[in-house]
């Protein structure tokens, strides 16, 4: 049988009413936990595992996968409307999405996120079905030096997207890199900058920092301006739905986001955040009107949202084909498989083809369900913005605090949230961009660890970093991305570039 | 004036009854998994939850995740908040013993009431199918020639994988501080590095490697336990001539400050758990060995483990 036959067979199984019900429960729960702060898909699946012990394995696994996909959908909602990213994969969405929401374009922002997620989920799930064995080979070629090169590329392209006020952008980035040093050093087990506080040993949680800088910092900023705040939030301006122009500007970012997110999600050390960051940088670079970035460019929502859903499907590639869990949720999905006596890995496609293809087919159906579920909700969500400002920001503060405590019940975490919130306020007052801090915290440790791993394996030989064509190629691309804009600037095109590099805040 | 007094009295009575009712329904448990959802401790805690509820050992069991620093964040929180409460349990294990030492944690297992060792798993040393190394002896000989040239992919620094490599080096007469150990955060990432031939050899819980061995993509060179491990015919390190015997174990502890009766009651519940049919079948699906040990024997064993771990971490240079 060909892949296509298997998929048709899987669709037959997935159309079973009970299986459809499981998928529906999964996507509904997933959307809910994506929206709620502090509860992620990983925790939800972990909570449900014991409950499903006696249930049908296929149905349960389909429900879990539905939760995973649904969580990626739901995460964008709070990012866009409340500037409170519930998960690290939707941090980038907040950059443009919240600006759109405040300009009365929350509806189109949510719509492009939902439809982009659908498109990406659809394409990536099909890619999972047809390309998994090839993608996984690519993923295994990536070792520490290739990851390090990829991180360099991300640093360069993403930093370029921060603005031409290089001084302020870089200052923010280095604050992030500094925060990234806090905690136990992965490679030697030694504590750095933890000052004997056990909660600091695991470093600064990315979502805590993002929520603090984005949401708390902004709430303080708004409060400090009192009633004189000029920028009135408009709940809805124009249509709630996407206009023709929105569609025209969204479809390419959806496809590019998918193309970036899927392979990076499939890499064991890739993760969803890198994909969203690279997608954002790519959209900013390719946009016809890059000056809109920072003021609510729809491309900046469409691309990263597609990328994070594509990476969720990407994560399933190493999980199903190699038995490698590459995210917390994937690790729990693996536990779910094992609970039913199934071992994901090279043999799963051979030993339980029905289950695998049923699962893949169900993901396609779950994806349609998510779209049907989420589009009508947009009308309801945008109403949130009609709440009077003091109430809205009080709500955001409550939401952000609950989310942080929910994720990590500790007073130290709360203190960090407030400290970083005040830092976010100060940065806003002085006009420092905020996103680079978060980017530094995400990319810093990855780049450091991969570099040190690469050097450790090569016993300190620096040439190892360029010893494979892939690593050398990516590093070359990074170098070009750094040097070419400089040359352009020297040749008198600086004005264009500085317009290009609008501050994101 | 009588009615309010009466009302207060009944309220007080009800409250008293409620307080008295708690021990009567003893068996509601709150288990802390000092790790993020998905890891070994989390699944141990959730397995306990599942079986205790299904077998009627406890009425309701809840699991709380407090991740961080090899379990020491959760342990510190547990030791300071659970004191004297017999309904609270915490899951831990070998990795926690190491983390307490390397992190210089102010709270140790002496600050809680260890109840029992529950499960164990062998640590396996494995290479990808394409590797030139066929036996553990060939690998160790290569290490003897140039310790840095053999790169090991395993779990977090100072964890059971790292300790095992250190012990192996020591047993083979190699300077343990010279070993080239590359720590990876998740099992998945380390596995990818081994399969992709990024490193010379990998070390991890045997369960992580078995599916790969079955598929023919990896070979297990040796296991760390005293006896051969079910599911693989790889030799033990002892059989191969290296005096190393390590088993990654997981345990359960109760709150500090319990009375002898309270401790006995918790131990009895854990005993019921371990002897239940549900627990046995669960161990089988998870691939965990039943290494149940409780009471004074466990306390003695725990002290030995702490001592041995301290020694090896000093040898590797992780603890001064």
Contact assignment for A202 to B68 by CB distance below 8 Å: yes
Question: Which residue among B151, B192, B216 places its CB closest to the CB of A268?
Answer: B192
Tens of pLDDT, residue by residue over A331-376, are 777 777 777 777 777 677 777 777 788 888 888 888 888 888 888 8
Contact assignment for A324 to B50 by CB distance below 8 Å: no
Which residues are CB-neighbours of A316 under 8 A, at least 6 positions away? A65, A128, A330, A363
Confidence of residue A175 (pLDDT cuts 50, 70, 90): very high
Best mean pLDDT range from A58-72, A328-342, A414-428, B297-311 = A414-428
* Mean pLDDT, rounded, of chain A: 82
pLDDT score of B186:
61
Kindly report the nearest CA distance between residue A191 and chain B, in angstroms.
7
- Residues of chain A with pLDDT > 90: what percent? 13
How much is the average pLDDT of A453-478?
A: 90
| Alpha-carbon distances, residue A330 vs A296, B263, B304 (angstroms) | 33, 37, 36
Question: Taking the domains of chain A in order of start, what are their residue ranges?
Answer: 3-500
pLDDT score of A503:
44
How much is the average pLDDT of A25-31?
A: 88
pLDDT score of A161:
65
**Count of CB atoms within 10 A of residue A477's CB?**
16
Residue A90 φ then ψ, to 5°: -110, 15
Q: Which residues of B touch A139 (CB under 8 A)?
A: 192
Contact assignment for B64 to A347 by CB distance below 8 Å: no
ipTM of the complex: 0.78
Question: Is residue A405 classed exposed, middle or buried when 0-12, 13-18 and 19+ CB atoms within 10 A define those classes?
Answer: middle
Q: DSSP letters along A456-503, please?
A: HHTTT-GGGGGSSHHHHHHHHHHHHHHHHHHHHIIIIIHHHHHHHT--
Q: DSSP letters along A151-185, please?
A: HHHHHHHHHHTT-S-HHHHHHHHHHHHHHHT-EE-
pLDDT score of A360:
85
Which residues are CB-neighbours of A420 under 8 A, at least 6 positions away? A208, A209, A212, A213, A216, A217
Quick one: DSSP state of residue A6? H
pLDDT beneath 50, residues of chain B? 1-26
User: Between A and B, how many residue pairs show a Cβ–Cβ distance under 8 A?
Assistant: 160
Q: Which residue has the tokens 């502890």?
A: B253
How much is the average pLDDT of A376-393?
A: 81
pLDDT score of B274:
85
Quick one: DSSP state of residue B158? T
Decide: helix, strand or coil at residue B127.
strand
Q: E strands within A318-425?
A: none
| Alpha-carbon distances, residue A307 vs A37, A259, B30 (angstroms) | 21, 8, 39
Q: Residue B203: which region, alpha, beta or left (left: phi > 0; alpha: psi -120 to 50)?
A: beta
Chain B within 8 Å of A324 (Cβ-Cβ)? yes
Q: Which residues of B touch A459 (CB under 8 A)?
A: 148-149, 180
Domains and CATH numbers, chain B: 17-112+255-292 (3.40.190.150), 121-223 (3.40.190.10)
List the 62-121 stretch of A: residues with Cβ below 8 A of B: none
Which residues are CB-neighbours of B6 under 8 A, at least 6 positions away? none
Best mean pLDDT range from A464-473, A484-493, B13-22 = A464-473
Tens of pLDDT, residue by residue over A305-318, are 999 889 888 888 88
Nearest residue of A to residue B201, measured between CA atoms:
A457
Tens of pLDDT, residue by residue over A185-241, are 777 777 788 787 877 877 888 888 888 988 898 888 888 876 655 455 566 666 778
Of residues A415 and A43, more confidence is placed in A415
The pair of three-digit structure tokens given for residue A164, joined into one six-digit string: 């031409």
Report yes or no: A404 and A208 within 8 Å, Cβ to Cβ.
yes
Q: Which residues of B touch A344 (CB under 8 A)?
A: 211
* Pairwise CA distance, residues B170 & B173, whole Å: 5
pLDDT score of A1:
61
Q: Residue A124: which region, alpha, beta or left (left: phi > 0; alpha: psi -120 to 50)?
A: alpha
């Amino acid at each position: 049988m060909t892949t296509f036959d298997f998929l048709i067979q899987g669709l037959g199984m997935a159309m079973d009413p009970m299986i459809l019900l499981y998928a529906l429960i999964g996507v509904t729960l997933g959307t809910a936990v994506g929206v709620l702060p502090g509860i992620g898909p990983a925790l939800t699946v972990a909570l449900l595992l014991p409950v499903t012990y006696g249930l049908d394995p296929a149905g349960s696994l389909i429900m879990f996968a539905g939760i995973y996909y649904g969580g990626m959908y739901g995460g964008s909602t709070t990012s866009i409307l409340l500037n409170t990213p519930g998960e690290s994969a939707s941090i980038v969405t907040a950059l443009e999405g919240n600006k759109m929401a405040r300009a009365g374009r929350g509806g189109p922002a949510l719509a492009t996120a939902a439809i982009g997620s659908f498109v990406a989920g659809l394409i990536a799930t099909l890619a999972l079905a047809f390309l998994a064995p090839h993608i996984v080979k690519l993923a295994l070629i990536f070792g520490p030096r290739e990851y390090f090169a990829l991180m360099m590329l991300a640093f360069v392209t993403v930093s370029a997207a921060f603005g031409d006020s290089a001084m302020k952008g870089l200052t923010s980035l280095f604050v992030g890199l500094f925060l990234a040093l806090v905690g136990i050093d992965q490679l030697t087990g030694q504590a750095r900058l933890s000052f004997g506080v056990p909660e600091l040993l695991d470093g600064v949680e990315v979502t805590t920092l993002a929520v603090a800088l984005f949401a708390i910092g902004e709430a303080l900023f708004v409060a400090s301006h009192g009633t004189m705040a000029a920028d009135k939030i408009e709940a809805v301006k124009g249509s709630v739905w996407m206009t023709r122009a929105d569609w025209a500007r969204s479809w390419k970012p959806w496809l590019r986001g998918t193309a970036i997110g899927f392979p990076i999600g499939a890499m064991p050390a890739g993760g969803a955040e890198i994909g969203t960051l690279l997608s954002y940088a790519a959209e900013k670079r390719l946009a016809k009107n890059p000056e809109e970035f920072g003021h609510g460019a729809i491309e900046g929502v469409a691309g990263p949202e597609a990328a994070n859903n594509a990476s969720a499907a990407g994560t399933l590639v190493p999980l199903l084909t190699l038995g490698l869990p590459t995210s917390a949720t994937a690790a729990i999905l693996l536990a779910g498989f094992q609970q039913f006596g199934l071992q994901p890995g090279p043999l799963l496609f051979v030993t339980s083809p029905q289950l695998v293809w049923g699962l893949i087919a169900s993901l396609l159906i779950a994806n349609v369900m998510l779209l049907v579920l989420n589009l009508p909700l947009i009308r309801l969500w945008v109403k949130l913005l009609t709440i009077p400002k003091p109430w809205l920001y009080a709500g955001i503060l409550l939401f952000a605090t609950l989310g942080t405590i929910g994720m990590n019940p500790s007073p130290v975490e709360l203190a960090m949230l407030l400290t970083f919130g005040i830092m976010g306020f100060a940065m806003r007052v002085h006009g420092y961009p905020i996103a680079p801090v978060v980017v530094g915290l995400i990319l810093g440790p990855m780049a450091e660890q991969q570099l040190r791993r690469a050097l450790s394996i090569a016993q300190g030989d620096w040439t190892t970093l360029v010893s494979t064509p892939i690593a050398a190629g990516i590093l070359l691309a990074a170098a070009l991305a750094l040097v070419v804009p400089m040359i352009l600037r020297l040749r008198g095109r600086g004005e264009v570039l500085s317009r290009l590099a609008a501050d994101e805040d | 004036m009588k009615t309010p007094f009466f009302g207060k009295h009944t309220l007080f009575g009800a409250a008293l009854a409620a307080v008295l009712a708690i021990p009567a329904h003893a068996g509601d448990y709150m288990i802390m998994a000092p790790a993020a959802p998905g890891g070994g401790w989390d699944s141990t805690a959730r397995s306990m939850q599942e079986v205790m509820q299904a077998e009627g050992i406890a009425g309701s069991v809840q699991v709380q995740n407090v991740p961080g620093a090899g379990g020491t964040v959760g342990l510190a929180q547990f030791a300071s908040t659970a004191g004297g409460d017999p309904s609270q349990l915490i899951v831990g294990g070998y990795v926690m013993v190491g983390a307490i030492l390397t992190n210089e944690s102010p709270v140790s297992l002496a600050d809680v009431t260890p109840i029992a060792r529950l499960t164990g798993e062998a640590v396996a040393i494995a290479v990808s199918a394409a590797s030139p190394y066929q036996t553990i002896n060939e690998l160790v000989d290569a290490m003897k020639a140039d310790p840095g040239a053999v790169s090991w992919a395993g779990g977090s620094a100072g964890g059971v994988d790292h300790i095992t490599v250190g012990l192996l080096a020591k047993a083979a007469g190699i300077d343990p501080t010279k070993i080239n150990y590359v720590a990876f955060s998740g099992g998945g990432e380390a596995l990818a590095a081994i399969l992709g031939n990024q490193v010379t050899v990998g070390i991890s819980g045997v369960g992580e490697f078995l599916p790969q061995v079955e598929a023919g993509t990896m070979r297990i060179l040796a296991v760390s336990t005293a006896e051969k491990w079910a599911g693989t015919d790889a030799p033990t390190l002892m059989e191969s001539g290296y005096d190393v015997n390590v088993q990654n174990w997981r345990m359960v502890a109760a709150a500090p400050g319990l009375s002898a009766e309270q401790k006995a009651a918790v131990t009895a519940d854990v005993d019921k758990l371990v002897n239940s049919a549900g627990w046995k079948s669960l161990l089988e699906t998870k691939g965990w060995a039943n290494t149940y040990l409780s009471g004074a024997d466990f306390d003695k064993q725990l002290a030995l483990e702490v001592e041995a771990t301290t020694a090896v971490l000093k040898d590797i240079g992780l603890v001064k």
